[in-house]
Chain A
Amino acid sequence: QKEVEQDPGPLSVPEGAIVSLNCTYSNSAFQYFMWYRQYSRKGPELLMYTYSSGNKEDGRFTAQVDKSSKYISLFIRDSQPSDSATYLCAMSSGNTPLVFGKGTRLSVIA
């Protein structure tokens, strides 16, 4: 079993839809959870950061962490064409290198 599993998609949705992106993991020591957004031919940029379990909201984006299920999610409300990108989940147990999922490619169609 890989340490972090993420459905690579691609995922195509109409503008205005709610998008749900997910990752599962196997290492129970993970406690820092992040979502990065990567536009084509660019470096990833941090989108959301969550420590331990719970929810975090930032504008149209909501990150959820369920440590009991080893499952994290990113929700995008009122999706826009500018949200079209690859979304990577990443996690760490602390001051150790982040482990990344493979990324999910999202297209929001106007």
Chain B
Amino acid sequence: SQTIHQWPATLVQPVGSPLSLECTVEGTSNPNLYWYRQAAGRGLQLLFYSVGIGQISSEVPQNLSASRPQDRQFILSSKKLLLSDSGFYLCAWNRREIGTGELFFGEGSRLTVL
């Protein structure tokens, strides 16, 4: 069976500090990978998605970047955090062969920027 791991689960960071959130998927190959952010009252906002190693699509211009160094690893980064980066970050995957858009989510990382 497939599993998705996301860490850290919770973090509190000062403004201007760097960020690295990691996500790995097990039990499947060639997944599409996604980073979403969920802020209060704003729903799920797609930040980045990737259909393969080194292939990143950005949906929203912002203070964040994403990388996919391995087939089943997706990393969300920032060099300098802003207060507005606070939120609940969710990694997700789906199968490239299935064009249904169905997503499987990780447990999320809650970021508070102070």
Chain A interface residues toward B at CB < 8 A: 6, 8, 32, 34, 36, 41-46, 49, 51, 88, 90-92, 94-98, 100-103
Number of interface residues, chain B, beta carbon within 8 A: 25
Q: Does B52 make an interface contact (CB < 8 A)?
A: no
B98 to chain A, nearest CB (A): 8
Cβ B90 vs Cβ A100 within 8 A: no
Nearest-neighbor residue (CB-CB) of B101 within chain A:
A92
Nearest-neighbor residue (CB-CB) of A100 within chain B:
B44
Of the stretches B12-20, B64-72, B79-87, B106-114, the one at the interface is B106-114
Chain B interface residues toward A at CB < 8 A: 6, 34, 41-44, 46, 49, 59, 88, 90, 92, 96, 98-108, 110
Cβ A98 vs Cβ B43 within 8 A: no
* A42-B43 CB under 8 A given contacts A32-B100, A92-B100: no
How many contacts A-B (CB < 8 Å)? Answer: 64
Cβ A97 vs Cβ B34 within 8 A: yes
Instruction: Name 6 extra pairs, CB < 8 A, besides A34-B101, A43-B92, A94-B101.
Output: A34-B102, A43-B105, A46-B103, A92-B101, A94-B99, A103-B43
Nearest-neighbor residue (CB-CB) of B36 within chain A:
A100
Nearest-neighbor residue (CB-CB) of A98 within chain B:
B101
B37 to chain A, nearest CB (A): 11
Q: Which residues of A contact B96 (CB under 8 A)?
A: 95
CA distance A72 to B111 in the complex (A): 32
* A95-B108 CB under 8 A given contacts A100-B44, A103-B43: no
Cβ B44 vs Cβ A88 within 8 A: yes
Select one of B42, B49, B107 contacting A102, CB under 8 A: B42
Select one of A34, A36, A41, A45 contacting B110, CB under 8 A: A41
Q: Which residues of B contact A34 (CB under 8 A)?
A: 101-102
B89 to chain A, nearest CB (A): 10
B7 to chain A, nearest CB (A): 13
* A97-B90 CB under 8 A given contacts A41-B108, A46-B103, A49-B100: no
Cβ A46 vs Cβ B102 within 8 A: yes
